Chain A
């Protein structure tokens, strides 16, 4: 079943008249355009030669330009702090080029080398196409069949990733591959290193869990490991769906390869304690310090407002998450107690001499057992619909905040370039009054060159800043739309489960009443 989040019993609920859900199973309805539109987006300038980009990576890396001045940028600009509770949730970005080098993706927006004018066209075009196509985002990914591969501590879970789509960027309408968890992390790492720093909100991958995985590896076949695997499977599915719903990411070859290629090079830098891992930790610390020292002159109130809003939202969502977790916990407790009571009622019924009463008590026990099952189903719904959704958004918000931070950095680079330019100009002025005639001309020429270079960098800095600001506005708009959609879907599903539960209860009580009345 493609992308089914809800447990089987919920499927019994009558299909609601919720028109947006076309085939009753597509949870993630989106108005994102189908990617058939991309070939028809404004023609890329012929001047975009493949070698331009493929030299270093299969994605834009404006960081290359200013490498000399900002050595920290060599590594991941890791700003997604996924601090729900576990310490292992470190964002993992690729260091440098990803192994699978692929030709440039056609979507105009990703390549910053293009004139700013080009950027003005594409967003609007994209929007127009969205309106035309409505909800025809036809793609469904399901993650299923978790399978343990290998033995002992080297074992891992392999998941089947099945894609069903009619989008033309894919060769086939339905295809399926086997992936392991580190593959997902690797994908995210690549996407983050390509898109985060230019302002795209890259959905975060599910967290690592050393405890959870160890249990599975060691072969504990109890309910907590199955729960863990199911939780992870669901999270991976949601992660992929979120990723492909992003039009830019969907067009990324890494994403497409991930979905299509049978073999994928193993993503090794995702291991927690690897050398790369340690480097990441060091850089995060450096980043944190940087963040504190950048004091940005915000000329655009929109950004300030939004940042404040997201800070508030973050706090609210965390609180919400805690409340939902508490709800899930209590419901599980209720289920346990109900089962316990059912047993004791059965024993009472067995000891009872009076036949009709004894039968009624046994029926009571059965009813309570069924109610227990309802509680369990509801707890499952609470968790997968609610708790995981809120958790996903808390993690997404860190990506959003990261993107704002990137903008600050971009601004800072631009400012730094301006400062350098100023210094060079001052140096030039000084040279006018210098009195070393033989070296003077050479120095003057050098300075002139440097000034030109820095003027270029200032222009670029400004461009990039404007671009990232524009991208962020769009991304935030998209984020908020998606957020509304996701929560809408959840509230409807949740209500459906509530209605279904009450329906079942009515059946049980109606069946029990005559038994109770029959006691004479």
Chain B
């Protein structure tokens, strides 16, 4: 039975703001109805998103569902950023925990929703429509957790990860994915360290600027000049501080987010490939069983084998499509992150070059006039 498609235009979906309600965070999602000016606005909590994700996992009657690369949902946000919670949030969410007012996190949620809404199969799920348009939140509807919410966590299954593939294409994909997952994780973590250092530098500049400010209170003409210089220097350091804040912000909102998405995307792809591999193992087992079956069980085993084989083939074909899509999307996403990042940093560099140049001129003027005054005395 064909479900009616999403009534919302995928690209219009925005997660515009976050409000804190006690311990919970409430996200405001706005979107536009397809082919119309009508806007929709709803408020949702993280649990609502989780509900959507689970609903997607546990769809029935979708052939080859396991071959779908599910758009990754960001981790659970811990509200109220006190220092210990902050450290924990950083560990769990990485870049998404940084920035003011959960800006990056909201962007990540937005991208998630857009990816689901743009997915040919997933967008048809009623849960998405409900999440985006219903005035009532999905509430505490418990969803039967699909068998593959995070298969990679199933310890016993992990040994299957290295199972050799029949198909070269998939074997290559698996190999490539393994290294990409690892490298993108490392790159994201290292970049996070860079951003944190920049933020710490900004704070240190703030302290320095204050210390310089405190040197300003001396009497007498030469001491007065010294005060002036300390003030100037304090202003300069302040500008340096703001520069670092901007640079860090640019980093985390563009490339940081991009790397984070890349990493989580690769993880989602890894999950899918793993599911397929598990199915492959299942298939090979079924084939063996069918061959070894005693005549009375043979027919049943053959049936089983056929079902698994059909399933596996469907999964593989969907997977191929998904991988093609995924690779394209990933390139687009990274490209826009890189371009965005570069443009923002370029803009900041130009701005601050201008600012520092003006301050330099002002200082030179100050020094020249003072020395002229001194000579006249």
Contact = CB atoms under 8 A, between A and B. Distances in A.
Given A334-B197, A492-B363, A517-B339, A344 B219 contact: no
B219 A309 contact: yes
B318 interface: no
B46 to A, nearest CB: 30
Contacts of A323: 204, 207-208, 210-211
A348 interface: yes
A487 B211 contact: no
Interface string B210-247: 11101101111011011001101100100010000000
A272 interface: no
Interface residues of A, number: 67
Interface residues of B, number: 65
Contacts of B222: 477, 480-481, 483-484
Q: Name the prevailing secondary structure of the A interface residues.
A: helix
Given A17-B364, A352-B180, A337 B194 contact: yes
Interface in A332-357: 333-334, 337-338, 340-341, 343-345, 347-348, 351-354, 357
A513 B339 contact: yes
A480 B187 contact: no
A313 interface: yes
Interface in B327-365: 327, 331, 334-335, 338-339, 341-343, 345-346, 349-350, 352-353, 356-357, 359-360, 363-364
Interface stretch (B5-13, B53-61, B88-96, B366-374): B366-374
A85 interface: no
Interface stretch (A97-105, A142-150, A251-259, A504-512): A504-512
A324 B240 CA distance: 13
A10 to B, nearest CB: 13
Nearest to A506: B349
A158 B21 CA distance: 69
B193 to A, nearest CB: 4
A330 interface: yes
A122 interface: no
Contact of A492 (B208, B218, B367): B367
Interface string A359-372: 01000100000000
A309 B218 contact: yes
Contacts of A324: 208
A317 interface: yes
B281 interface: no
18 contacts: A16-B360, A16-B364, A20-B371, A309-B219, A316-B211, A333-B197, A337-B194, A344-B183, A344-B187, A345-B187, A348-B184, A348-B186, A483-B226, A484-B229, A487-B233, A498-B356, A498-B360, A517-B339
Given A327-B208, A481-B374, A487-B226, 7 more contacts: A134-B375, A327-B205, A333-B197, A334-B201, A347-B187, A499-B357, A502-B356
